[in-house]
Amino acid sequence: MQVPAGLKGVAVADTTIGAVRGAEGFYHYRQYNAANLARTRSVDDVVTLMIDGSLPPEAPAIDLGPMRGLPDDVARLVDLMSEFTPDALSVIRAALLALADVEGHQPVLDIDHDQRRADAIRLIGAVPTIVARHYRRRNGLEPIAPDASLTHAADYLRMATGTVPEDVRATAVEKYLVSTIDHGFNASTFTSRVVASTGASVASAIVAGLGALSGPLHGGAPGRALSMIEEIGDAENARAWVEAKLDAGEKIMGFGHAVYRAEDPRGVVLREAAEDIGGELAKKAVGIEQEILAKLAEWKPNQTIVTNVEYWAAVSLGIAGLPSELFTPCFAVSRVIGWSAHILEQANEGKIIRPSANYTGPEPVS
């Protein structure tokens, strides 16, 4: 059977976790509008929805606070790796595998759902601590221990920056984390499910997802969108800047999406978050966005090119106080939640994912 390149549009599994309706500019987690969840619910609430299927108070709220601490051996590993690699995703991969080993996590095939769930929640909680510790060590700063009394978003921002954030800044990070938890059967989610289907541990499946996320065609680079805004400077310069880039055959960072043909709802939420904080960058970003979209509409009048999540992720996270080198790791802090939900669902299926391929090489000699 012939299939489209990259399995585009092919449904390869059933899921109750969520879906994307790109033509409508809509996506959902379980039965809830995901953009509305980002506006109204905490990370901890939405973790509960993704892992246990219901929002609090219908389901007991999952408390990620006690999950954020690192064993001493894992903390030392993060410190050691921070001496020679700037790549936070590599550090997360190594640290999660070490944490799973230290704490005795087992393959999902050998444990029941409750233990798989506990392993997933533990690893979700550890990721922001690993990211923040690596960042601070790389920059000659002392690591900051997690504070279980803070929300997941506020504590992540505090551990990275060293300051308890204002509510409006913590809320911006919260909205980012919630809005990017899951987004259909993207490359990293599918990768995590494939590995989970082999019966491997939750940590191994998450690490596989991180490997997929490290690819520039998937994880993206919101920092580049922020650099673009800084390079353009003022909205009045945007059209000429875009025209020069298009003439050179270059992509415009933060614009265009493989799925959305209407406005990316994640970008809408994050634009709101940036405007809530306010300031010169937020104002400038609004004007530049309008000019870029107008120019792109002239360039391809028969195509709908929308602002994607990267543009407003860069602006909102930057205004909230996160340095640009943490933008992509911040995606991992969020997406590990979605991967975990998919890993648990796939583990319950109990069947290995084993597709076929069409051989197109030379005819074999018998």
* pLDDT tens digits, one per residue of 254-289: 887 777 677 889 999 999 999 999 999 999 999 999
Q: Which of 220, 12, 204, 7 is nearest to 100 (CA)?
A: 204
Catalytic residue list contains 298: no
- Helices (H) and strands (E) counted in the chain, each on its own, are 15, 3
Instruction: DSSP letter for 109, please.
Output: G
Task: With a cut of 70, list the residues of the chain below it in pLDDT.
Answer: 1-2, 9, 220-221, 260
- Does an H or E element contain 219, and which? none
Per-residue model confidence (pLDDT) at position 28: 97
Per-residue model confidence (pLDDT) at position 182: 96
For the chain, the distance separating the N- and C-terminal CA atoms, rounded to the nearest angstrom, is: 24
Per-residue model confidence (pLDDT) at position 220: 65
Catalytic residue, chosen from 257, 289, 291, 342, is 257
Distance (Å, rounded) from C-alpha 179 to C-alpha 18? 12
Domain ranges of the chain: 41-166+182-218+323-349, 222-319
Amino acid (1-letter code) at residue 13:
A
User: What are the tokens at 162?
Assistant: 């060293």
pTM score = 0.94
Polymer length in residues for the chain: 366
Per-residue model confidence (pLDDT) at position 330: 94
* CA dist list (Å): 22 to 41, 53, 185: 23, 24, 13
What is the chain's Cα-based Rg? Answer: 21
| CATH superfamily ID and name for 222-319 | Cytochrome P450-Terp, domain 2 (1.10.230.10)
* CA dist list (Å): 207 to 71, 91, 120, 343: 19, 11, 12, 12
Main-chain dihedrals φ then ψ at residue 82, nearest 5 degrees? -65, -20
Instruction: DSSP letter for 19, please.
Output: E
- Does an H or E element contain 51, and which? helix 43-52
Distance (Å, rounded) from C-alpha 38 to C-alpha 46? 9
* Strand, helix or coil for residue 21: strand
The answer for residues whose C-beta is within 8 angstroms of residue 140's C-beta and 6 or more apart is none
The answer to whether the beta carbons of residues 193 and 340 sit under 8 Å apart is no
Distance (Å, rounded) from C-alpha 260 to C-alpha 272? 19
Q: Give the dihedral of Cα atoms 124, 325, 208, 38; nearest 10 deg.
A: 50
pLDDT in tens, 126-183: 999 999 999 999 999 999 999 999 999 999 999 999 999 999 999 999 999 999 999 9
Per-residue model confidence (pLDDT) at position 7: 74
CATH of 41-166+182-218+323-349, one of 1.10.357.10, 3.30.420.40, 1.10.1060.10, 1.10.580.10: 1.10.580.10
Catalytic residue, chosen from 105, 152, 310, 342, is 310
Catalytic residue list contains 310: yes
Q: Which of 5, 116, 8, 138 is nearest to 52 (CA)?
A: 116
